[in-house]
Chain A
Amino acid sequence: EPEVTQTPSHQVTQMGQEVILRCVPISNHLYFYWYRQILGQKVEFLVSFYNNEISEKSEIFDDQFSVERPDGSNFTLKIRSTKLEDSAMYFCASSGQGENTEAFFGQGTRLTVV
């Protein structure tokens, strides 16, 4: 069964460092998302991406965040200068040919900023 894969599964970084979280969405999907879940809290939307551009972003997704689909298969989330409060589980998701189709989630990357 096709699946969304995320790497790394865990990342520890020092405050102020840049991190890149990587995702390989399901191959024929067109819509891509990043969500995050701070420990003990609910999952929050960060950004959606379609047709090689951001289609929607939340207030959390400020200038320190960026997304890219560099090679037609990977979908990355970059955090330029990490802060302690960026520590969370980051989930990538993708969905199919149209809007309002089922979203498939990756296993998540647990980011710890120290």
Chain B
Amino acid sequence: KNEVEQSPQNLTAQEGEFITINCSYSVGISALHWLQQHPGGGIVSLFMLSSGKKKHGRLIATINIQEKHSSLHITASHPRDSAVYICAVDGNTDKLIFGTGTRLQVFP
């Protein structure tokens, strides 16, 4: 079983829709990261959080440590949001453990 599970694996939305991507993990963590990977392959860090909620523009990330669950929300989605969104956890070691990613496509 993967230590980090994401759902859904693929997500299609119309421009303007509210999007939620979920991440569950089975290990103890010190922090959880949401990352964005564009078709060219580069990875960009969106959020790092260890409790509560963070917001940046149209992106919101929440985490529930007790339930070992995090969500990434995108409000008013736009075609430029199309990318792979990856959840990764910092398990108190010198490495990140990655989920398999959620491929999001937003159509105009």
Residues of A at the B interface (CB closer than 8 Å) are 31, 33, 35, 37, 41-45, 48, 50, 55-56, 58, 89, 91, 99-108, 110
Contacts and interface: CB of A to CB of B under 8 A. Distances in A.
B98 A44 contact: yes
A41 B43 CA distance: 14
A41 B100 CA distance: 7
Contacts, number: 61
Q: How large is the interface on B (under 10, 10 to 19, 20 to 34, 35 or more residues)?
A: 20 to 34
A105 B100 contact: no
Given A42-B99, A43-B86, A103 B33 contact: yes
Interface in B19-51: 30-31, 33, 35, 40-45, 48, 50
B95 A33 contact: yes
Contacts of B67: none
B76 to A, nearest CB: 25
Contacts of B33: 102-103
B99 to A, nearest CB: 7
A58 B95 contact: yes
Contacts of A101: 48
B75 to A, nearest CB: 23
Interface string B40-67: 1111110010100000000000000000
Given A56-B93, A100-B31, A102-B48, A107 B98 contact: no
B90 interface: yes
Nearest to B47: A102
Given A42-B98, A42-B100, A105 B45 contact: yes
B83 to A, nearest CB: 14
A113 to B, nearest CB: 17
A108 B97 contact: no
A67 B50 CA distance: 30
Which 10 pairs of residues, A with B, have the shortest CB-CB distance? A48-B94, A45-B95, A105-B43, A107-B42, A56-B94, A43-B98, A102-B48, A42-B100, A55-B94, A100-B30
A50 B95 CA distance: 12
Nearest to B40: A107
